Amino acid sequence: MDEERIKKILDRYYRRDLHYEDGRILGSMYTKVPDIALEAFLRFHQANLGNPGLYPGTRELERRVVKFLLRLVSAPKGRFYGHVLSGGTEANIVALWAAREMGYRRVLATKDAHFSIRKTVNILNMPLVTVKMNRGKMSLGDLERKMKDKDVVVATAGTTPLGLIDPIEEIARVISSMDIFLHVDAAFGGFVIPFLRELGYLNQRFGFDIKEVKSVTIDPHKMGMAPYPAGALLSRENIFQSISIDAPYLSTGKNYSILGTRQSGSVAASYASILYFGWSGYRELVKRCMENTLYGMKRFSEEDFEIFVKPEMNILNIKIPNILRVKRELVKRGWGISINPSYSTLRIVFMPHVTTVVVEKLLKELKNIEKSYGR
């Protein structure tokens, strides 16, 4: 088949998808990334850091990406470790897998921890203890009642449903006298919280400036503006050694991740985005997303919609009756939306493509739907 015909076939399927440029995808933690990042991805698409000896240039790029990520998570001077993986799910699996191999036995997390934690405990056959929440955040009292030596505690810096930050400094104090592995899932919040601090929106620590934190998940392919797949796992100790597998045919003779082949065009793309935005560029991006979030909160409130919880980050939840019916209607009208059925909320992630114009269009749609369903 000739190339032109192939392109026409692919174009047919492409037109069936939603695209971020249209501003109608409201529930995703991804967005349109800079062209330079896509160019970097394609240029390095052959690289495979599962066999790093063949790709010393890409390996150095990974070191540079990890160095920037360590700055985001406030790592003090000293040696830390990290790899760019396929996403937050793989990073969380690797962190808990390493903890299990180091002798830790149970996992403690809230129900709003990312679904990858439930997936991980199933894969690893580790008991999961659900810690209660207090207004969407981990309850310190319930954690204290349930924790034991050799537990893994998973705290979240930017929960997927509500965008809230568990009280990580307080969790660290609660567990400080025990042998507990504290893992922080900052897949979304890692590229947001440092800039919210600088902008004066909040003052919360979540990273390696808290000595009890052993590992952190952070995703460049979310607010880091890198293309899929690009998550990362950072650690205070070399926890990767505890899960290494002999692979004699590889250049290093070892494998340290879930995947054997690590698609490493995303490493170059992540570095390209870091160079493109820089620290001040990311701060401006977060500022704009947060301003749009607050605009959305104001406008929905003005139209008598209930805000479920005041947003700490660029995720807004609006309480809506008949949420499943409303979702079906919005999807029929071409919106890519996300809901929290347990909270009966419409969840909007204010990524850069979700602007004030998008908010007004959505409000108009909801008012039309209201005429049919009411509140």
Tokens standing for residue 290: 């947060």
Average pLDDT over residues 91-103: 97
Residue 370 has pLDDT above 80, yes or no: no
CB of 209 closer than 8 Å to CB of 169: no
CA-wise closest residue to 157 among 119, 129, 197: 197
Average pLDDT over residues 182-210: 97
What pLDDT does 374 receive? 55
What pLDDT does 200 receive? 97
Question: Which of 99-113, 146-160, 254-268 is least confident?
Answer: 254-268
Average pLDDT over residues 133-157: 97
CB of 70 closer than 8 Å to CB of 82: yes
CB of 354 closer than 8 Å to CB of 361: no
Angle between helices 265-302 and 356-373 (to 10 degrees): 50
Average pLDDT over residues 29-42: 97
Cα 289 to Cα 183, 222, 234, 294, 322, distances in angstroms? 27, 13, 26, 9, 28
Q: What is the 8-class DSSP label of residue 30?
A: -
pLDDT digits (tens, 9 = 90+) for 241-275: 998 888 888 787 778 788 888 889 999 999 999 99
What pLDDT does 244 receive? 86
pLDDT digits (tens, 9 = 90+) for 44-64: 999 999 999 999 999 999 999
CA dihedral sign, ordered 251, 252, 257, 262: negative
**Strand extents, DSSP E, the chain:** 81-85, 106-109, 128-130, 133-134, 137-138, 151-156, 181-185, 213-218, 231-235, 245-246, 254-255, 306-307, 315-319, 338-340, 345-349
CA-wise closest residue to 191 among 77, 289, 116, 85: 289
Distance of CA 373 to the CA centre of its chain: 34
Cα 141 to Cα 134, 146, 171, 361, distances in angstroms? 10, 9, 10, 43
pLDDT digits (tens, 9 = 90+) for 312-345: 999 999 999 889 999 999 999 999 999 999 999 9
Residue located via tokens 């919280």 = 193
What pLDDT does 275 receive? 98
CA-wise closest residue to 234 among 217, 222, 246: 217
Distance of CA 62 to the CA centre of its chain: 19
Query: What helix, strand, coil percent values describe the chain, rounded to 5?
Result: 45, 15, 40
Domains and their CATH numbers in the chain: 3-33+278-373 (3.90.1150.10), 35-275 (3.40.640.10)
Higher pLDDT, 255 or 117: 117
Tokens standing for residue 369: 């739907």
d(CA 368, CA 105): 52
Residue 210 has pLDDT above 60, yes or no: yes
3-class secondary structure, 374:
coil
Look at the pTM and tell me if it is higher than 0.85: yes
Torsion angle defined by CA atoms of residues 349, 168, 151 and 71, in that order, rounded to the nearest 10 degrees: 80
